[in-house]
Amino acid sequence: MVFPVRVRHCGDVDGERLFCDVGLAERIERAEVRFVADCCDATRARVGGARGFTRPLAGGVATFAEPDSPFNKVAGLGFGGLPENLDEVEAAFAELGAPVQVELSQLAEAGMGAFFTERGYRLESYENVLGRRLGGTEFPTDVRPVRDDELETWLSAMADASSVADDQGLPSNEHFPRELLRNALRDMAGVRRYLAERDGEFAGGACIRVTDGIAQFGGAATLPAHRRRGVQSALLRARLAAAAEAGCELAVVTTQPGSKSHQNAQRQGFDLLYARAILVKGTSATRSSGAESRQAS
């Protein structure tokens, strides 16, 4: 005899999956705008140069941090009308020899996609935004916060891990030199960094940033020798516990479609909220387009 079983999703509240409407998507994108702008400002402070910019654009932001940085992008568009001053932004990127990369939510206002394709932007890839409500997660014993005196070691290990792409899911169209990855991880503003250990060795790390009740997960990577050993799952659980303790309502993470990171997030109760289309105009010597650090699980 087969008995009906009601499966409770571990990210559920009252048994309901997390639903993302336009209002929630806009809230998540606003948090992304603040994160990208702060990271770009941190990069420019580190390099100490006048090159680069952070410009508001139709409710979103256009940023250039340094050549071929993952923080060179247009983020958060689609919820404040068409970008009327896009000509100026495109000229600013062109002057610095950089392509214009737009990360556009699928829940953006109607007509945004047509607007960009008519201007010569091409669709290069997608990224998925997943989220879950918080509660009921314990901090794992094999994960801990990074101490101040461990930062340089953490940055180097994370850059090494991020340099070796995972082989599950769609391949990333990002190709960053190791030192650029290291600098980008350093410039992730306002984050709390964590590391996971396995058999007494550094196995992987990740970050969390809290913005207006939203816990943004990012900068996650696992060293190849420790992949498929539950390291990323432990890091996800640790950040979920930390986010709940910080009083956040929601945790969000961005992954490559069909990746191991996406699978790990779903196993920890995350629901797919929406996708972002990566639209690019122009080319770069380092990459055709980019996004924030992706998890290598």
pLDDT of residue 281: 97
For 168, phi then psi, to 5°, come to -100, 140
pLDDT of residue 9: 39
For 80, phi then psi, to 5°, come to -140, 30
State which amino acid sits at residue 276: R
Domains, the chain, ordered by start = 22-128 (no CATH), 133-273 (3.40.630.30)
pLDDT of residue 169: 59
Full pLDDT tens readout for the chain, 297 residues: 333 333 333 444 445 689 999 999 999 999 999 999 999 999 999 998 668 999 999 999 999 999 999 999 999 999 999 999 999 999 999 999 999 999 999 999 999 999 999 999 999 999 999 999 998 888 999 999 999 999 999 999 999 998 776 666 555 556 678 899 999 999 999 999 999 999 889 999 999 999 999 999 999 999 999 998 899 999 999 999 999 999 999 999 999 999 989 999 999 999 999 999 999 999 754 443 333 344 433
Residue carrying the six token digits 């990127």: 93
CB contact burial 49-84 (16+ within 10 A = b; e otherwise): eeebbbeebbbbbbbbbbebbbbbbbbbbbbbeebe
pLDDT of residue 2: 34
pLDDT of residue 170: 57
Residue carrying the six token digits 């816990």: 215
Q: Are 256 and 172 in contact (CB under 8 A)?
A: yes
pLDDT of residue 15: 52
pLDDT of residue 1: 35
pLDDT of residue 284: 53
